[in-house]
Amino acid sequence: MLLGLVRIKCVALLIGPTGVGIIGIFHSIQNIAATASGLGINSSGVREVAEASATEHEGHISRTVLTLRRLCWLTGLAGAILLIVLALPISQLSFGSSEYTWQVRCLGVSVFLGSIAAGQMALLQGMRRIGDLARVNIISSLSATIAAIGYYYWLGVNGIIPAIITISISVLIASFYYSRKVRVEPVKMTWRETIIAAKGLMLLGGVFMTTALMTGLVEYATITMISNYIDLISVGVYAAAFRLSGMFLNFILNAMGADFYPQLTAVSSRHEKMRSLVNYQTEIGLLLAVPGLMATLVLAPWIITVFYTEAFAESAQLLQWLILGCLARVVTWPMGYIMLAKGVGRMYLICEILTHITHLCLIWLGLQWFGLHGVAAAFCAINFAYSIAVLGISRYLIEFEWSASVKKLIYSFFPLMAVALIATHYCSLIVSTSVGCLLVAVVSIFCIRELCSRLGPDHNLVVKIQMIPGAKKIINT
């Protein structure tokens, strides 16, 4: 996350809002192509590998892993061909001209490499190799930072595509290195056997693909509408706020999903255990995320100035609306895994389709009525609505209810975030910052104490926190 913040600042200084907007469009195109061609196999692969690992049957594990790897090569190649063939219309739709046709074609290389790397990452996650997964992410972020700074300093906006491809190569190398450490017995399979074995991956993967594709299409439609209705600079302004909000949120949620999803899948037949895991994960997620989210909300004008430039000033208010939506996502995220762990693909698909269609309508209306602020508010609104819907579905599937401790956290944090937002809108910058910093300090102390009480005094993290001067007194009071 820290490397990402450094990268954001350097990118903003070197290529400005227009360059950030172009990067946002390229990433959106890349994600859609990878999702459409990938058939959701990487996501379903995590579940299949986790289930195979739970059986402790070496032959089953080996066949699952080999099938996953072969399919990732095929889907990656399909994604590259898709971009090469459709590059011209994609450039015209995205930028209003054919100027970026060759750049779009070059994105196919990144899609191909990314698909192979994603298969290796799915293996690490399914086998619950969390340490190796974290190392790959750190190496990827480091390489992304070095490549972005180097290419943008050297070539400016023309360095965007070389940077994207270089990053993909480094991620592939890192994921390949760590996935080779996973001991898998050699197994011989014909391609016919691979196709037969792939049916299970593809059936559930189709659900993942459809939902991920809709997410990518909504993101692509958003930036395309902003580009067409306003301009590329506005795309950069919105992308700046969205990236900052997503960076901190993904820092928490990706950490959750890395181990939580395989763990929940393993107990999918034991509803009481599932309810306990989801409630515990929600508590930890809120305690980890809320201090950072609140600090981002109240310090948004300062954060945009520090990590971007004055040209991105409008991003501050957008960031505040996005942060509120992120808070709702923290609550929803653990519940969302219930449908995946239970394997109710059709229900999950219907829920996601309705959500994305509604979100797209809200984005269009918000853009028409309120401009960029309406787009950010639409993100906030859809996440709160999605939380309510997923809670209802979770009750139906496993009779899920939030525990008393989770309700206490929700009823405490949401009003405080609302107070902080009101202060930033109706008070001067100095007053809102002072009030906000006080709230952040109080919430941070509370969250640290609650985290330590849940983890226990002997936990490694608690021991390290107590080594900070004054921290032991705060935790124990």
DSSP string covering 77-136, please? HHHHHHHHHHHHHHHHHHHSSSTTHHHHHHHHHHHHHHHHHHHHHHHHHHTT-HHHHHHH
Q: Is residue 212, in this structure, part of any structural domain at all?
A: no
pLDDT digits (tens, 9 = 90+) for 342-374: 877 778 888 888 998 999 999 999 888 888 888
pLDDT of residue 58: 61
C-alpha of 375 from chain center: 19
> Other C-beta atoms within 10 Å of 317: how many?
18
One-letter amino acid of 270: R
**59, pLDDT greater than 70:** no
Only one residue has tokens 């919105």, namely 238
* Cα–Cα nearest to 238, from 315, 320, 296, 325: 315
**Which pLDDT band, with edges at 50, 70 and 90, does 386 fall under?**
very high
pLDDT digits (tens, 9 = 90+) for 149-181: 888 888 888 888 999 899 889 888 888 888 887
pLDDT of residue 382: 93
**pLDDT (average), residues 323-340:** 87
Give the span between the Cα atoms of 322 and 342, in whole angstroms: 30
Give the span between the Cα atoms of 291 and 289, in whole angstroms: 6
pLDDT of residue 67: 74
Q: Is residue 214, in this structure, part of any structural domain at all?
A: no
Q: Is residue 113, in this structure, part of any structural domain at all?
A: yes
Do 281 and 138 sit in the same domain of this protein?
A: no
Work out the mean pLDDT of the chain and round it to a whole number.
81
pLDDT of residue 40: 65
**296, pLDDT greater than 80:** yes
Give the span between the Cα atoms of 324 and 381, in whole angstroms: 9
Do 35 and 106 sit in the same domain of this protein?
A: yes
Do 390 and 305 sit in the same domain of this protein?
A: yes
Rounded (5°) CA angle 171-309-442: 85
Give the span between the Cα atoms of 326 and 53, in whole angstroms: 33
- 162-168 own/partner pairs: CB under 8 Å, 24+ apart: 164/26, 164/27, 164/30, 164/107, 164/110, 165/106, 165/109, 165/110, 165/113, 167/110, 167/140, 167/143, 168/109, 168/110, 168/113, 168/114, 168/117
Give the span between the Cα atoms of 20 and 23, in whole angstroms: 5
Q: Is residue 455, in this structure, part of any structural domain at all?
A: yes
Structure tokens at 126: 């399914």
User: Of the given ranges (126-135, 161-170, 316-325, 373-382), which has the lowest mean pLDDT?
Assistant: 126-135
What are the distances in angstroms from CA 442 to CA 290, 416, 468, 474?
A: 11, 11, 18, 11
Q: Is residue 219, in this structure, part of any structural domain at all?
A: no
To the nearest whole percent, how much of the chain has pLDDT over 90? 9
**Which pLDDT band, with edges at 50, 70 and 90, does 203 fall under?**
low
pTM, full prediction = 0.70
SS (H, E, C) 147-158: HHHHHHHHHHHH
> Other C-beta atoms within 10 Å of 354: how many?
13
Task: Number of helices (H) and strands (E) in the chain: give both, helices first.
Answer: 17, 0
**Which pLDDT band, with edges at 50, 70 and 90, does 435 fall under?**
confident
> The dihedral of CA 110, 113, 115, 118: what is its sign?
negative
67, 32, 160, 92 alpha-carbon torsion, rounded to 10°:
140
**Which pLDDT band, with edges at 50, 70 and 90, does 45 fall under?**
low
pLDDT of residue 200: 61
pLDDT of residue 381: 93
- How many domains are there within the chain? 2
Q: Is residue 220, in this structure, part of any structural domain at all?
A: no
**313, pLDDT greater than 90:** no
Under 8 Å between Cβ of 312 and 10: no
Do 189 and 289 sit in the same domain of this protein?
A: no
pLDDT of residue 60: 62
Structure tokens at 377: 């508010």
Q: Is residue 261, in this structure, part of any structural domain at all?
A: yes
**104, pLDDT greater than 70:** yes
> Other C-beta atoms within 10 Å of 223: how many?
24
Do 32 and 109 sit in the same domain of this protein?
A: yes
**pLDDT (average), residues 18-24:** 81
The conformational region for residue 401 under phi > 0 = left, psi -120 to 50 = alpha, else beta, is: beta
Who wins on pLDDT, 399 or 250? Answer: 399
**pLDDT (average), residues 453-463:** 79
Local structure of residue 184 (DSSP, 8 states): -
Rounded (5°) CA angle 444-448-452: 170
Do 304 and 159 sit in the same domain of this protein?
A: no
pLDDT digits (tens, 9 = 90+) for 78-97: 889 988 999 999 888 888 78
Do 142 and 236 sit in the same domain of this protein?
A: no
One-letter amino acid of 309: T
**Those residues with Cβ within 8 angstroms of residue 404's Cβ, 6 or more apart along the chain or in another chain:** none
Who wins on pLDDT, 345 or 197? Answer: 345
Under 8 Å between Cβ of 298 and 439: yes
Rounded (5°) CA angle 438-443-446: 130
**Which pLDDT band, with edges at 50, 70 and 90, does 384 fall under?**
very high
Do 260 and 369 sit in the same domain of this protein?
A: yes
pLDDT of residue 389: 92
Residue 313 is part of which domain span? 230-477
Q: Is residue 210, in this structure, part of any structural domain at all?
A: no
pLDDT of residue 68: 73
Structure tokens at 277: 């895991």
Altogether, the residues listed in the chain come to a count of 477
One-letter amino acid of 80: A
One-letter amino acid of 254: N
Do 296 and 153 sit in the same domain of this protein?
A: no
Most confident of 56-60, 202-206, 226-230, 328-332: 328-332
pLDDT of residue 362: 93
Do 251 and 391 sit in the same domain of this protein?
A: yes
Under 8 Å between Cβ of 310 and 351: no
Do 22 and 87 sit in the same domain of this protein?
A: yes
Do 270 and 346 sit in the same domain of this protein?
A: yes
Under 8 Å between Cβ of 223 and 235: yes
